[in-house]
Amino acid sequence: MILQALDAYYHRKQADPDPAKRLPRFGLEDKEIPFVLEIDADGKLVNITDTRSVEGKKKIGQRFLVPQGVKKTSGVATNLLWDTAEYVLGIGTRGKPERVTEQHATFRARIEALPDAARDDAGIRAVLAFLDAFRPESLDGLPVLADIQANPVMSFRLHGDLELVCQRAAVVAATTNQTEEKPDGICLVSGAPAAIERLHPAIKGVWGAQTSGANIVSFNLDAFNSYGKAQGANAPLGKAAVFAYTTALNHLLGRDSRQRIQVGDTSTVFWAEEPHELEASMLDLFGEPPKDNPDKNVDAVKALYSAIESGKFSVGKLDTRFHVLGLAPNAARISIRFWETATAAELARRIKMHFDDLAVVHADYEPEHLSLFRLLTGLSMLNKADNIPPNLGGEVMRAILEGLPYPAAMLNLAISRCRAEQKPTYARAAAIKASLNRWIRFRNTQEKEFAPMLDPSNPNPAYRLGRLFAVLEKIQEEASPGLNATIRDRYYGAASSTPVTVFTTLLRLKNHHLGKLSPGRATQMEKLIGEILGEVADFPRQLPLPDQGRFALGYYHQRQAFFTKSTTTPEESK
């Protein structure tokens, strides 16, 4: 199903009316070429063009449409009219001159094996003339010599042309119009007889995988074979289908793709069966907004809510099928972390439910909606992305897309960080509220779901104890302004896990603090404490982990209430 959906996306992009958005034809690929050898019609080297430009801290080469590369293994295998300097020029600094000589000879033999119509092209004749006359010492003194010795990818261009030699019409025709090989199996994607691809091209762009790429479909040991089938024959896919799914997936995972997001260790890509608004907005919904437009995330969420309320998207239909694929590195292969297919309407509803569940009162300077990055880093040690547990990001994304309860690890991590740092934060409170509400909803319990802000009517004892702890801390702060540490710094962990051991002590201490407040304020706080304790029969000996989450949420809500509104009523002010 995954490969069929990717194959269908490839053919959809092939039919795009905008040529700039079309994916390469069968037999071609989009490749970064850092250096181009400019030669004249006689094969004389005119210049070596450095196509690289600085993007951030890296130099990125210009991308060209070139003949599809071969699957590189430990043996010698060359690409047509483009490859590394060892293949193209026969120079290398790796201490294996015999291998470099073999690579260069293979590169030339691949060109000479082209059909007669292609070899008669002026560009091919010039390349062959260059290879006949080239001597490595001719590069001495060139400013790019050091870069070339690092074995970069390079290709050829006739001086004065805009296209590479491998992009000339005769070469493209020889590459894309090859005679169809004899079918030797049934393609699992098309269901038709086809020549089965033995080795599939690498998938690049999956965070954490090998930089040279990894595979989804791969059989490289005898133990993986069955019924006498070797390598690609174990999962038979036609050459055209393999080209289609790998090209589509590499396009989705591309550096500039707006159809991928990184969630923890999971690289997530998404696409629809036809052009759709959600394709362009998913990155804005879940990704971190750019610094020059911090409201982009908020605008995307508002547009999503508007589409659900109005029953229509600006681009695309409600019943358009939408696909989301989560990929994670696994040694030399790529593992499928999750795969979800749903209509655009259903997917939008689930995403809206996620933002509704996360909604919690917060300070004005904090973002209105938490991106997945902010949510997960808010739960990690030192708020660093490197400390996010490996599988958590993928599991959270899966829960969002499938409308399932959030993973237990999200609640556990939020509570443990609250205890470790003695402070429930915006991200942690949001994660706790979302996890508890989905737990209540999916188990159909009688417990009342938690509101985004303080809910004085919520009778849960753990929630009320959290509120009580916040009130006691507030009394201490008002009684002794400028304190470097409050009861939270000393007692939060014990209060949230074993309330009976600390609350009797804290309630005695609060009498001393109340004596320093004005009579009106002291009375107001006493009434608030009485209201909270009215639903608490006794202090529990121990709170299980979910109740520790309710305690943290009650504390957070009450603290936010102190800063957002006054607790004074008209009767109390008399």
Residue among 74, 174, 66, 160 at smallest CA distance from 115: 174
Cα separation, 547 vs 248, whole angstroms: 47
For residue 83, give both structure tokens: 């490859």
- 574 residues of the chain, pLDDT tens digit each: 899 999 999 999 999 999 888 999 998 999 999 999 999 999 999 999 999 999 888 899 999 999 999 887 778 999 999 999 999 999 876 668 889 999 999 999 999 999 999 999 999 999 999 999 999 888 888 888 888 888 999 999 999 999 999 999 999 998 876 555 789 899 999 999 999 998 898 999 999 888 888 999 888 777 777 887 888 888 999 999 999 999 999 999 998 899 999 988 899 999 999 999 999 899 999 988 888 888 899 999 999 999 999 999 999 999 999 999 999 988 778 999 999 999 999 999 999 999 999 999 999 999 999 999 999 999 999 999 889 998 899 999 999 999 999 999 999 999 999 999 999 999 999 999 999 999 999 999 899 999 999 999 999 999 999 999 999 999 999 999 999 999 999 999 999 999 999 999 999 999 999 999 999 999 999 999 999 999 888 999 999 999 999 999 999 999 999 987 554 444 444 3
| Alpha-carbon 431 to chain mean position | 19
CA distances from 455 to 66, 348, 439, 500, 532 (A): 63, 28, 19, 24, 11
**Long-range residue pairs from 99-107, CB within 8 A, at least 24 positions apart, any chain:** 102/76, 103/76, 103/78, 106/76, 106/77, 106/78, 107/78, 107/83
Six token digits for residue 211: 């930089």
Cα–Cα distance measured from residue 463 to residue 503, given in angstroms and rounded to the nearest whole number: 14
How far, in Å, are 86, 286, 417 from residue 370 at the CA level? Answer: 49, 8, 18
Dihedral of CA 30/33/36/37: which sign? Answer: negative
CA distance 268 to 407: 18
CA distance 476 to 456: 22
